[in-house]
Amino acid sequence: MVRGSLRNGEYPVTKTPQPRLATVADAEAINEIYNHYVRTSAATFQVEDETTEERIEELRTRPGNQPIIVLEADGEIVGWGALSPFRSRCAYRDTIELSVYVRHDCHRRGSGRVIVHDLIARARSLGYHTILAASCEESVASIALLHSLGFRETGRLREVGHKFGRRFDVIYLQLMLSAPLQEPKKTL
């Protein structure tokens, strides 16, 4: 496998690969990255592999305002991310939840930052008011990455995850994207 420039630390500014929208052709690469964490880590609370069929279906049916993106470098997908609904109730419509996964053998090369940065820009241009991420307390890398891009911790749910015979807290991190609503004008 060719990693090329990825071996030498962060991407040079002029050569920084840009994420693109994922297609069904990316399903296997996305799952290869994701299922590593399903099996080995509490970064996701999913406990069984995502199948290719499930991922293809998701990619096919995903609405345009809930993008899944991939980051490619030297012809290989090294990471992916998504904007997904936080809750289904209509009043949550201005809120979106971010997720990001970088191939386990490609960490600390700047990919996570590029993907999250791109997701923030997409969320902003899609008109979302706030973007949040739910991180397992042990996902030190994810928490540090989100902090470095302006997210702040806004909540902790105690022991809501149960995986590998252990219970995990979930930390919510949040970034505000637009100004608060104006007070409604009083009608006399």
Residues within the interface to ligand COA (CB under 6 A): 37, 43, 99-102, 107-113, 133, 135, 139-142, 144-145, 148
Q: Which residue is nearest to ligand COA (CB)?
A: 112
Please enumerate in sequence order all residues whose Cβ is within 8 A of that of 2, keeping only pairs 6 or more positions apart, or say none: 74, 75, 76
- Report how far residue 134's alpha carbon sits from residue 156's, in angstroms, rounded to the nearest whole number: 9
User: In whole angstroms, how close is the CB of 79 to ligand COA at the nearest point?
Assistant: 6
Beta partners for residue 100, in sequence order: 81
- Residue 128: Cβ within 10 Å count: 20
User: In whole angstroms, how close is the CB of 94 to ligand COA at the nearest point?
Assistant: 20
Closer residue to ligand COA, CB minimum distance, 173 or 180: 173
User: In whole angstroms, how close is the CB of 183 to ligand COA at the nearest point?
Assistant: 35
Closer residue to ligand COA, CB minimum distance, 27 or 98: 98
Q: Whose CA is closest to 134, among 184, 185, 100?
A: 100
Residue corresponding to tokens 């490619």: 72
Closer residue to ligand COA, CB minimum distance, 56 or 73: 73
User: In whole angstroms, how close is the CB of 76 to ligand COA at the nearest point?
Assistant: 14
Q: Which amino acid is at 27?
A: A
Closer residue to ligand COA, CB minimum distance, 93 or 137: 137
Q: Whose CA is closest to 99, among 131, 140, 58?
A: 131
Closer residue to ligand COA, CB minimum distance, 101 or 128: 101
User: In whole angstroms, how close is the CB of 146 to ligand COA at the nearest point?
Assistant: 8
Burial environment of residue 139 by CB neighbours within 10 A (0 to 12, 13 to 18, 19 or more): buried
